[in-house]
Amino acid sequence: MLAAVLTWTALLAGCSGPLGPDGEPGAPAASRNVIHVTPADGSKAVRPGRRLRVRVPEGRLEKVTVVKSQDAQDSAVPGYISADGRTWRPDEDRLGLAAQYTVDVVAQDAEGRESARHTTFTTLVPDERFIGYVTPENRAVVGTGMIVSLAFNREITDRAAVARAVRVSAQPPVEIRPHWFGRTRLDFRPEQYWKPGTEVTVDLNLRDVQGAPGVYGLQDKTFAFTVGRSQVSLVDAASHTMQVRRDGRLLATVPITAGAPRNPTYNGKMVVMDMLDVTRMNSRTVGFGGEYDIPDVPHAMKLTDSGTFLHGNYWSPDAPGRVNVSHGCVGLRDVRGGSSDTPAGWFFDRSLIGDVIEVVNSDEKTVAPDNGLGGWNMTWQEWTANPAAE
């Protein structure tokens, strides 16, 4: 205990400044250094537009340490001191929301005397947040036509800020560009279908990005998926056939039935969005009234949001290859309960979410690019001519 007292006494003497004329400790030499930290010490509900700065009017900054406490975790805020030593700035200007910042500064004045400053401030806790639901799923293996699609739970008015906060990259590298569909959906794709084996990474740096007045992003996550083999199937509604090509090679020509004259199938490129071993199809859910209600449709592959499927058909066994009888779907011969030995089962077992189904020679218009993952129906010039994504 005595040693401790002596140590603290020595430290206090060492900090007390020069001795006076009578040998007693004199008054400490005051540093003329004034350390300015903004936002000010004790500030509350600081908005994200404010900038964190540390500066001194003379002398130089020796050390600046900033810690952000957010979501019960502490993290260092990296930054740098300017060449003249008088200003410190963080590497990223944007302040995190619902966070406490602690700033510790050591500086020297023009005569080499040190001073220190410790400040804290807290940032705004937003009332509203937005998130983006990502397609495809993390770690999925998908077909060559997959489009990265983000569906937001709130309308986005600052679409440029949100688009900048999402990064989609690929290995091997390829140019990937965003396109907005309205205010709640942002899609990404390359100019051509993905090459098989491509590894795609989606970085959502949306945390605290303002998507609309008073509405801030919540996510700071990374998703990744792998592009499997290439499979593109061409449905010819006039000849009632589907050519299935794997990596450019014809695997099979399969008989199909497409939409009847009153309800023709969409033309254009559609991407498999979901695969269901069996599902119920009720005409009332897609605007057809009470025309059908089939509780056990086998081998169903969803192609559009509006209800277009490629699926097994056991109730019209003679239609595939001969006549178009559906309400807009593409049907392949199947049996009730499904079987891998039927054309529908064979195709289902060899398909992936993200595979491309292209329909030609139908009497219907081309599917809209935002109806499912239909963005491949836009030219690259149309896709990239999207000012809100810049």
Mind telling me the catalytic residues?
311, 329
DSSP class of 70: E
Q: Which residues of 46-71 are buried (b: 16+ CB within 10 A; e: fewer)?
A: bebebebebbbeebbbeebebebbbe
Coil, strand or helix: which one is 341?
coil
Output the CA torsion sign for 246, 250, 256, 260: positive
Rg for the chain (alpha carbons), in Å?
A: 32
Residues 192 and 174: their CA atoms lie apart, in Å, by 10
Provide the H-helix boundaries in the chain.
2-14, 159-164, 343-349, 380-384
Q: Among 215, 210, 218, which residue's Cα sits nearest to residue 127?
A: 215
Query: Would you tell me how many other CB atoms lie within 10 Å of the CB of residue 282?
Result: 14
Helix, strand, coil percentages in the chain from 3-state DSSP, rounded to 5:
10, 45, 45
Q: Is 159 exposed, middle or buried (0-12, 13-18, 19+ CB in 10 A)?
A: buried
Query: Would you tell me how many other CB atoms lie within 10 Å of the CB of residue 202?
Result: 22
One-letter amino acid of 114: E
Residues 85 and 333: their CA atoms lie apart, in Å, by 76
